[in-house]
Amino acid sequence: MRVVVIFAALASVFAGGVIAQKNDETTRKLWDTAFISSATSKKDTRRRSRSYRIATPKIPIDTVTPESVVGVTIWRLRPALGRDSGERIIVHEDAAAKQWTPQRISPGTKLSQGDKLRISVEGARKGYLYVINREQYADGSVGEPYLIFPTTRTLNGDNRVDIARLTEIPAQDDSPPYFTVRKSRPDHVAEVLSVLVSPTPLEGIAIGDKAQQLSEKQVAEWEAQWSTGVGFLEMDKSVGQAWTREERDAGAANTRALTATGPAPQLLFYRAGAKPNDPLFVKLQLWYRATTKRSHHYWKRN
């Protein structure tokens, strides 16, 4: 009887260890300092495929709370080619179906007039997502802030984020499922995207069907409160990679969770010393190629 009891106890401990290990391997983690090290094992495919470099070395990473980070990927669409291995977006225009291949870009990638962009955001905790766009001019000044997400045209205005969930802006079934970037004047040199994740909905935001202009004062207050000490990591050797099936499925109506070994965000933003429930406000500049062409308006959906 004693032998049976001991055996049963050992079996229970072993089973518990296996389950714990399995859960650890299948849990989606955005923040893991092992991903930052370049000295990862060649046998560890998951870590090698998620190797990040520190883009803001002056901002410490040793006080980062894993639940406080947010992942962002910017996609630029190009016409699909027969040899493409990635997934495609099909857009119906003028009674014809056009196929586009989304590819990852870096903050250093130069934009051209008329580029088609998409944004995907992944949170490490539950919260509410807001995306603001501003124009930046050659003298360093910026234009009015516009809230480009949420709107009722994308995900019906549902801006909730959750662990391992992917929020795509615009959504795959939006028409069109991309933003078209255009310079509003000759000295318009960059687009400034601000991504804000809050544990609760922001007060005073009425979600409408179009991008809405926000108060300069309000945006400045958010930035002052929640952007101090923000840094980011960028994934190595992933610029130009095409949209995968897992990313497509995870972004479709935001219903499928990403797996632990699934594609990781291009950029990981963090705030040193932030608590798990602190809002996070991050800014990302996307620069245009130098040009003398004049056009009109800012980010457009048609």
**pLDDT tens-digit readout, 227-259:** 999 999 999 989 999 999 999 999 886 667 888
pLDDT of amino acid 175: 86
In sequence order, the 6+-apart residues with CB closer than 8 A to the CB of 234 are: 52, 53, 55, 106, 107, 266, 267, 268
Any idea of the CA torsion for 54, 58, 61, 66, to the nearest 10 degrees? -80
- The pLDDT, as a whole number, for residue 172 is 92
- Strand extents, DSSP E, 80-115: 89-93, 96-105
Contact by Cβ (8 Å): 131, 149: yes
- Give the pLDDT confidence score for residue 32 in this predicted structure: 84
State the chain's mean pLDDT as an integer.
84
Segments in the chain below pLDDT 70: 1-26, 37-49, 94-95, 253-255, 291-302
pLDDT tens digits along 1-14 = 433 333 333 334 33
39: left (phi over 0), alpha (psi -120 to 50) or beta: alpha
Query: What pLDDT shows up at residue 39?
Result: 47
Which pTM value belongs to this model? Answer: 0.84
Structure tokens given for 112 = 């051209």
| Cα(130)–Cα(121) distance, integer angstroms | 10
Return the pLDDT at 23: 43
Residue-level pLDDT at 28: 85
Q: Look at residue 95 in the predicted model and tell me its pLDDT.
A: 65
CB 283 within 8 A of CB 271: no
Q: Please report, for the chain, the start and end positions of each structural domain, with discontinuous segments joined by +.
A: 29-76+107-287
